[in-house]
């Protein structure tokens, strides 16, 4: 008579067999996937990766980690995570309700990279679509290109069935834009230099007055993940600098700047002043430094030191002669080791099998950017 097999014995037997054959077995409940090769599954993101829920039960990093450890492709899991932030009207630095450009139009940028498949996609100056990360992913999946921009990116997305809306402003984002207009242009016109100074000054004054979160003024969420098999992916998405010149593109959709992934090494992404990051292609630099043996923290700090060294224009320096802006990097290597580093003290989000948490970054410089 055959021996009866209990459910526990069946699970143990099939799991062992799956590992012996190199076949992934589905996880039970919400337990993480089995680790292989000493890799610790992890999702790392900017601070808003664990502060926004869009009315749902989970944040970006929680959503991405759960999907990833249940077998979803790492990049698809990360995109689903940042969708939480893109769709939340309360986050005015990303997606729907993001702070608009100088003409009051919300223009969105995003890029994504798939480490194992060595593919990437991005969009810039995209209008009318709430989830630019999904369009960036479609560029990666369905074209031979890495970047589509402006109206043509919108037409591409519309052709794939994405809903195009006439205006992505919310009542709040439009109201903040009108307040900014009142502050910079009370007499209709200024000379170009004074207008430029007034524009930035008015925006920063709104941050000081508590009308805009400092992180939202610069916008952006970066989210990177490594699963138990050591597969590394990343995505960055943003509404860009508040009140930017129409058509301005920052670092977020640019491979090597706002994001870079190498499956053998790891990933790095950024938030903060995009122009400072673009000049040094710092995400690429960080990954290359890790390739040479640097830890995620040390690689990120070296990139920040280079940004500081390259910041020489007086308009970009504070009273202490230091960079008058924030810049953060979120770094993870292929083993799951990670770090959050920043020009000045900040925070970032992490999710592992122990749950999600907000952690302090390692700052390069003391004090605050505007000290």
By the 8 A CB rule, do 309 and 315 touch?
no
By the 8 A CB rule, do 215 and 369 touch?
no
User: What is the average pLDDT score of the chain?
Assistant: 87
Arithmetic mean of pLDDT, 234-256: 95
- pLDDT tens string 346-360: 999 999 999 999 999
- pLDDT tens string 100-137: 999 999 999 999 999 999 999 999 999 999 999 999 99
By the 8 A CB rule, do 199 and 241 touch?
no
Domain limits, the chain: 30-172+209-363
By the 8 A CB rule, do 278 and 250 touch?
yes
> For residue 335, what pLDDT band results from cuts at 50, 70 and 90?
very high
Residue 352 catalytic?
A: no
Top-confidence residue, 182 or 235: 235
Top-confidence residue, 12 or 219: 219
- pLDDT tens string 148-199: 999 999 999 999 999 999 999 999 999 999 888 888 865 433 445 555 566 6
Out of 51, 69, 131, 220, pick the active-site residue.
220
The percentage of the chain sitting over the pLDDT mark of 70, rounded to a whole number, equals: 81
pTM: 0.84
Q: What is the pLDDT of residue 328?
A: 98
Read out DSSP for 63-91?
HHHHHHHTT--HHHHHHHHHHHHHT-TT-
Arithmetic mean of pLDDT, 255-275: 97
- pLDDT tens string 28-78: 333 333 344 679 999 999 999 999 999 999 999 999 999 999 999 999 999
By the 8 A CB rule, do 85 and 98 touch?
no
| CATH architecture of structural domain 30-172+209-363 | 4-Layer Sandwich (3.60)
Q: What is the pLDDT of residue 38?
A: 78
Strand partners, 255: 259
Alpha-carbon gap, residue 40 to 231, rounded angstroms: 11
Answer whether residue 8 shows pLDDT above 50: no
Read out DSSP for 96-153?
TT----TTS---EEEEEEETTTTEEEEEEEE-S-S-HHHHHHHHHHH-S-S-EEHHHH
Q: How many CB atoms lie within 10 A of CB 335?
A: 15
Label the pairing between strands 148-149 and 119-126: parallel
Answer whether residue 208 shows pLDDT above 80: no
- pLDDT tens string 16-25: 433 333 333 3
Top-confidence residue, 184 or 200: 184
Arithmetic mean of pLDDT, 258-273: 97
């Amino acid at each position: 008579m055959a021996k009866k097999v209990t459910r526990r014995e069946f699970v143990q037997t099939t799991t062992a067999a799956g590992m012996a054959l190199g076949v992934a077995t589905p996880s039970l409940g919400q337990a993480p996937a089995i680790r292989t090769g000493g890799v610790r599954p992890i999702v790392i993101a900017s601070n808003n990766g664990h502060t926004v829920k869009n009315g749902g039960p989970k944040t970006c990093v929680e959503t991405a980690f759960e999907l990833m450890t249940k077998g979803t492709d790492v990049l698809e899991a990360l995109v689903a995570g940042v969708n939480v932030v893109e769709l939340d009207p309360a986050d005015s630095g990303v997606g729907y309700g993001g702070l608009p450009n100088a003409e009051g139009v919300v223009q969105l940028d995003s890029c994504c990279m798939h480490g194992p498949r060595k593919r990437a996609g991005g969009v810039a100056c995209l209008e009318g679509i709430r989830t630019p990360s999904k369009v960036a992913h479609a560029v990666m999946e369905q074209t031979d290109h890495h970047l589509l921009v402006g109206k043509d990116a919108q037409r591409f997305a519309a052709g794939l069935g994405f809903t195009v809306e006439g205006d992505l402003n919310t009542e709040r984002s439009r109201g903040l834009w009108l307040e900014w207009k009142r502050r910079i242009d009370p007499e209709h016109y200024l000379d170009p230099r004074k207008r430029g100074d007034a524009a930035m000054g008015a925006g920063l004054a709104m941050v000081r007055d508590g009308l805009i979160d400092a992180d939202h003024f610069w916008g952006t969420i970066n989210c990177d993940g490594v699963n138990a098999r050591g597969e590394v992916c990343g995505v960055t998405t943003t509404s860009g600098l508040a009140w930017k010149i129409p058509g301005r593109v920052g670092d977020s959709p640019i491979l090597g700047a706002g994001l870079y992934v190498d499956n053998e090494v790891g990933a790095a992404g950024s938030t903060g002043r995009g122009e400072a990051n673009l000049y040094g292609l710092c995400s690429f630099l960080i990954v290359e430094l890790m390739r040479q043996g640097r830890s995620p923290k040390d690689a990120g700090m070296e990139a920040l030191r280079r940004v500081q060294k390259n910041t020489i224009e007086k308009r970009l320096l504070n009273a202490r002669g230091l960079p008058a802006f924030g810049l953060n990097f979120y770094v993870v290597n292929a083993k799951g080791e990670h770090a959050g580093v920043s020009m000045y003290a900040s925070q970032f989000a992490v999710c592992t099998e122990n749950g999600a948490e907000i952690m302090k970054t390692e700052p390069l410089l003391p004090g605050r950017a505007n000290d």
